Chain A
Amino acid sequence: NAGVTQTPKFQVLKTGQSMTLQCAQDMNHNSMYWYRQDPGMGLRLIYYSASEGTTDKGEVPNGYNVSRLNKREFSLRLESAAPSQTSVYFCASSGGNGYGYTFGSGTRLTVV
């Protein structure tokens, strides 16, 4: 089925550990995004990639890095996890002008 696939679905990290969240889309979208969703807050943009080969910071980029590996894949890396990064992370992709915006099912990350 077409869509956005995120892995893993759940992860528990210890403070200071690193990990990479993976995201892949099969809709031939140019743009991809990483968001975090915290209780009582709207989704906040961490990083985005307008097209293959480009990445830009969003609203809350500190503590994260991203890689647009190819048109399909966009990964999010936490180099040294902190409890403040406990959240649900969503990847999304879109076509031109932001239409066709599609979200993945999310990764629930807990940092202890």
Chain B
Amino acid sequence: KNQVEQSPQSLIILEGKNCTLQCNYTVSPFSNLRWYKQDTGRGPVSLTIMTFSENTKSNGRYTATLDADTKQSSLHITASQLSDSASYICVVSSVSGYSTLTFGKGTMLLVSP
């Protein structure tokens, strides 16, 4: 069964600090990996998307990495801001079937002043 595991489940950091969120997956066959940010009461919004051949991708202060050999990804947030407080969801797409997405449960990040 395809699975996406994220850690930690929740995280509190001080404003201005950096943090790294982890994602491990067992999805086959692999198509791409996405990171989404979900603010409370809102729908998920795409941060990055990486295919098999991409090791890293940045979107402003967000940098995602992918190791397709170990099936691991990370999302690094630099110089955190209060507005970064949200749930961060790792999503892996499989080419089996029609654009099948497997969602992680998310990491809840709280940035404290």
Binding site for B on A (CB under 8 A): 4, 31, 40-45, 48, 50, 56, 90, 92, 94, 97-99, 101-106
* Contact (Cβ within 8 A) B106 A103: no
A-B pairs with CB below 8 Å: how many? 46
Distance (whole angstroms) from the CB of B60 to the closest CB of chain A: 19
In the complex, chain B residues 22-48 whose Cβ is within 8 Å of any chain A Cβ: 31-32, 34, 41-46
* Complexed CA–CA distance, A41 and B103 (Å): 9
In-complex Cβ contact of A48 among B4, B31, B98 (8 A): B98
Residues of B contacting A: mostly: strand
A42 adjacent to B42 (CB under 8 Å): no
- A45 near B98 with CB under 8 A, answer no
A98: contacting residue among B4, B31, B102, B106, CB under 8 A: B31
A106 and B98: CB pair below 8 A? no
Q: How far is the CA of A1 from the CA of B4 in the complex (A)?
A: 32
In the complex, residue of chain B having the shortest beta-carbon distance to the beta carbon of A40 = B105
Report B48-72 residues with CB < 8 Å from chain A CB: 49
